[in-house]
């Protein structure tokens, strides 16, 4: 045997690859389609909770047939990391060859998590939003928010974008920077009601520690698509039952992983199979219908899954090889079989 | 913040640390004790099966309070890896700080898995074998076998060691090398019966793909300790019910992880709580009695758990820092909060 090498990509390496929004969205859509075609192996993510909800790790794993790569992501969720000047979610992705189980790439997953989450938001809207949505209402300005807004605007070129968050200084900063990048005005609102009422697409990327209703049921207008994906319930708990259709990313995982937006409703036996219209991958793959009228109120809940991390991690790996980015590590030279 | 670095240790780096058998056994015993004292967080390992049992990954995770480290191990089990000149189990361990979730060490876990498995075998025997065991019977000569036999002999200085395995050439080679290392004769037997009958300690480290009875019930004599730990049932299925005591490493994991020696009996509802005398950590911690007479037949089943990987991985990390071994990688320099 020739020995095994691993390519290591730091967070700064991943940044330097300068991945484009369209290619990120394309590869994530490919992953969703593979999921819908059952061309993946993906047990539920699970968790290592040192203290819930302040200190925990989420562990995601899977295999994606069209790219022929297996992968594992370990991502922390440490709420007090700002005290150390760190993001709450530091992530490490490891990629493996499905023939031997040999690792071939280890990369920072902090940035790619934001990217893939934004891409699932955007691809979800591509398939589930009404035609020509003109108003985006976005709650939350951290981490994934940048990618959500930038990718959605790339798809829809909104007439109006409204954002809000708890702290005035961070929402002002976000709106300022986004306005510049998108070359259009991003409007700051003080309340969630002003942000989401009348919106065609509502994204709730809030990160609560305790349940709070940031979006009331009646604020979601006919024809709207709403995507709340925080770990803690942040919308009216009636929503899954009053919308016309509810989609998820992976229903098995929604039922097994004990955390997340609607986990409590599932555990209470209230949110069940019959409330779920399908998985987004099934819609992307054409196996199930998505939106069928301009009046439907649609809820799409993505908990986030390994398939997206693997396809995007693999894209980063391929780009890094092309561009000569990263550190090549000797992992295993000579067998030692005793 | 100062940025985050990760120390990378290849398989050759880990080898060069030249960890001693006593220090490996000590740190693994510390882990078992912490487990028995409930000073760990350890959900069940779980699995990513591309094709069972030929191609799968086991994913182990946990946190060990006395060393204050969290960790994840991804270990392949790819039965055809010999075709590539690779061991069937290639493993990667990542260690994390429990304050922030930041990774600080990535190391090859292939060697440490063999080491920690051997150490659990040995520490298990330290607490559960009869006084002055004189005859060791060992089935299997791959991977963990070396550490099992070397560590057990270090503890007990056996009068006789018998080994067997399927292929004559590998068992002869193993016995030859072990005889030299231990400076005592290691006897090769052709059959498992000759190997384990009369043995005070029976270790079954076989790696079957399909159930086969390598150890019959009546071959386990009064006073014997038997430890079978392959992924597939390799002993008489009656054993858990005829022995005087059965111990496991982690009963929760035994019930939740769907693979392993006695998993079928658990899934069938036959092997239940009332058959389990305790976990080895409870015995090490003095919370539960181990062996109480020289006549007891005792069965100890260790599936292998994250706690051992974490304490041993952390020992390797500390040694590497002391000795200046490994590659220091810049993982995360400047926050990027958009």
DSSP A137-162: EEE--STTHHHHHHHHHHHH--SEEE
DSSP code of residue B218: G
The pLDDT assigned to B259 comes to 87
Q: State the best of B59, B101, B107, B333 to mutate against chain A, taking most chain A CBs within 10 Å.
A: B101
| CA atoms lying within 13 Å on the CB side of residue A328 | 7
* CATH code of A246's domain: 3.40.50.720
Q: What is the mean pLDDT of residues A20-30?
A: 98
Distance from CA of B145 to the nearest CA of A (A): 8
pLDDT, position B36? 98
Cβ distance B61 to A59 less than 8 Å, yes or no, reads yes
Query: In this structure, what DSSP letter does residue A261 have?
Result: T
Which of B300, B315, B312, B318 has its CA nearest to residue B261? B300
> Measured between CB atoms, does B158 come within 8 Å of chain A?
no
**Domain for residue A242, yes or no?**
yes
Tens-digit pLDDT profile for residues B142-198:
889 999 999 999 999 999 999 999 999 999 999 999 999 999 999 999 999 999 999
> Looking at the complex, does the CB of residue B327 fall below 8 Å from at least one CB of chain A?
yes
Q: Are A162 and A136 in contact (CB under 8 A)?
A: yes
B145 touches chain A (CB under 8 A): yes
Give B123-132 pLDDT, tens digit per residue: 999 999 999 9
Residue of B209, B248, B252, B216 whose CA lies nearest to B120: B248
Q: Say yes or no: A62 and A137 in one domain.
A: no
Tokens of B221: 């004599």
Partner residue opposite A94 with nearest CB, options B47, B92, B330: B92
Specify the pLDDT at position B336.
60
pLDDT in tens, B259-314: 899 999 999 999 999 999 999 999 999 999 999 999 999 999 999 999 999 999 99
- Alpha-helical (H) ranges within chain B are 11-16, 21-36, 110-128, 145-156, 168-182, 192-196, 239-242, 251-256, 263-267, 280-284, 306-323
Q: Are residues A253 and A321 in the same domain?
A: no
Supply A255's token pair.
């039922």
- Which candidate, B281, B284, B283, B288, places its Cα nearest to that of B250? B281
B213, B110 Cβ separation under 8 angstroms:
no
Q: How far is A186 from chain B (nearest CA, A)?
A: 15
Q: B38 in a domain, yes or no?
A: yes
Q: Is the pLDDT of residue B1 over 60?
A: no
Please report the pLDDT score of residue B337 as a whole number. Answer: 55
Q: What is the pLDDT of residue B338?
A: 43
> Is some CB atom of chain A closer than 8 A to the CB atom of B259?
no
| Per-residue pLDDT tens over the stretch B244-262 | 999 999 999 999 988 899 9
pLDDT in tens, A184-235: 999 999 999 999 999 999 999 998 888 999 999 999 999 999 999 988 999 9
Same domain, A262 and A235: yes
Contact A100 B81 (CB under 8 A): yes
Q: Are residues B128 and B106 in the same domain?
A: no
**Would the pLDDT of A337 be above 80?**
no
Considering the domain architecture, whether residues A27 and A98 belong to the same structural domain is answered as yes
**Can you give the pLDDT at residue A336?**
60
Percentages helix, strand, coil for chain A (3-state, rounded to 5) are 35, 25, 40
Interchain CB contacts (distance < 8 Å): A and B: 187
Q: For A296-308, how does the pLDDT look when each residue is reduced to its tens digit (9 = 90+)?
A: 999 999 999 999 9
A1 pLDDT more than 80: no
Higher-confidence residue of A331 and B338: namely A331
Q: Is residue A335 within 8 Å of residue A1, measured between CB atoms? A: yes
Distance (Å) from the alpha carbon of A272 to chain B's nearest alpha carbon: 24
How would DSSP label each residue in A73-109?
EEEEEETTGGGGT--S--EEEEEE-TTT--EEEEEE-
Asked, for residue B119, whether it belongs to a domain, the answer is no
B338, part of any domain: no
Distances in Å between the alpha carbon of A90 and those of A59, A149, B149?
A: 12, 22, 41
Confirm whether A338 is domain-assigned.
no
Distance CA A124, CA B252 (A): 38
pLDDT tens across A58-111, in order?
A: 999 999 999 999 999 999 999 899 898 898 999 999 999 999 999 999 999 999
A244 and A170 co-located in one domain:
yes
Least CB–CB distance from A49: residue in B41, B55, B142: B41
């014997």: which residue's tokens?
B224
Instruction: Return d(Cα B34, Cα B91) in angstroms, integer.
Output: 24
Instruction: Decide if B334 touches A, using CB distance below 8 A.
Output: yes
Would the ipTM clear 0.90, i.e. be above it?
Answer: yes
User: Is B26 within the bounds of a domain?
Assistant: yes
Give dist(CA A125, CA A113) in Å, integer. Answer: 18
Same domain assignment for residues B136 and B100: no
Query: Which residue of chain B has the CA closest to A149?
Result: B338
A113: confidence class by pLDDT, cuts 50, 70, 90: very high
Cβ contact A335:A135 at 8 Å: no
Q: Rounded distance, CA A28 to CA A32, Å?
A: 6
What CATH number has the domain bearing residue B59?
A: 3.30.1780.10
B316 and B212 belong to one structural domain: no
Please determine, for residue A335, whether its predicted confidence score (pLDDT) is greater than 80: no
The nearest CA of chain B is from the CA of A281 a distance in Å of: 20
* Structural domain includes residue A264: yes
pLDDT at A208: 87
Q: Say if the Cβ atoms of B11 and A331 lie within 8 Å.
A: yes
Q: Is the pLDDT of residue B119 over 80?
A: yes
Q: Do B311 and B295 belong together in one domain?
A: no
DSSP state of B38: T
Structural domain count of chain B: 2
3-state helix, strand, coil in chain B (%, to 5): 35, 25, 40
Residues B163 and B57 occupy one common structural domain = no
Strands (E), chain A: 4-9, 40-41, 46-51, 55-64, 69-78, 91-96, 103-108, 135-139, 160-164, 186-188, 201-204, 225-228, 245-248, 278-279, 298-301, 327-332
Mean pLDDT estimate for chain B = 96
Do B26 and B45 belong to one domain? yes
pLDDT in tens, B31-46: 999 999 999 999 999 9
Residue A30: domain span: 4-112+307-332
The mean per-residue pLDDT over the stretch A275-293 comes to 98
Instruction: Note which residues in 12-51 of chain A have CB less than 8 A from chain B.
Output: 12, 15, 41, 43, 46-50
- Shared domain check, A255 and A230: yes
In angstroms, the CA A53 to CA A23 distance is 34
Q: Is residue A76 one of the residues assigned to a domain?
A: yes
């Amino acid at each position: 045997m020739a020995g095994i090498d691993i390519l290591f990509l730091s967070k700064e390496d991943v940044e330097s690859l300068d991945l484009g929004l369209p290619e990120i969205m394309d590869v994530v859509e490919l992953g969703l389609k593979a999921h819908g075609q059952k061309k993946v192996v993906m047990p539920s993510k699970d968790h290592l909770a040192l203290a819930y909800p302040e200190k925990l790790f989420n562990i995601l794993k899977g295999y994606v047939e069209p790219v022929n790569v297996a992968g594992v992501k370990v991502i922390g969720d440490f709420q007090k990391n700002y005290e150390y000047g760190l993001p709450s979610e530091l992530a490490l992705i490891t990629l493996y060859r499905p023939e031997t189980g040999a690792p071939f790439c280890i990369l920072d997953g902090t940035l790619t998590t934001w990217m893939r989450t934004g891409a699932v938001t955007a691809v979800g809207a591509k398939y589930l939003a009404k035609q020509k949505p003109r108003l985006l209402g976005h709650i939350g300005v951290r981490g994934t928010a940048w990618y959500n807004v930038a990718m959605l605007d790339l798809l829809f070129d909104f007439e109006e974008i409204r954002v809000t968050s708890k702290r005035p200084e961070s929402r002002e900063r976000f709106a300022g920077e986004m306005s510049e990048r998108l070359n259009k005005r991003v409007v700051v609102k003080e309340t969630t009601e002003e942000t989401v009422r009348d919106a065609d697409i509502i994204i709730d990327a809030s990160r609560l520690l305790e349940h709070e209703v940031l979006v009331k049921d009646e604020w979601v207008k006919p024809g709207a698509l709403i995507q709340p994906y925080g770990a803690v319930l942040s919308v009216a708990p009636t929503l899954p039952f009053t919308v016309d259709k509810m989609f998820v990313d992976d229903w098995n995982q929604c039922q097994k992983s004990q955390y997340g937006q609607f986990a409590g409703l599932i555990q209470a036996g209230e949110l069940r199979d019959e409330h779920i219209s399908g998985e987004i991958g099934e819609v992307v793959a054409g196996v199930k219908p998505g939106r069928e009228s301009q009046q439907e109120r649609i809820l799409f809940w993505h908990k986030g899954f390994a398939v997206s991390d693997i396809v995007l991690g693999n894209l980063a790996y391929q780009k890094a090889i092309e561009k000569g980015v990263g550190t090549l590590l000797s992992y295993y030279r000579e067998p030692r079989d005793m």
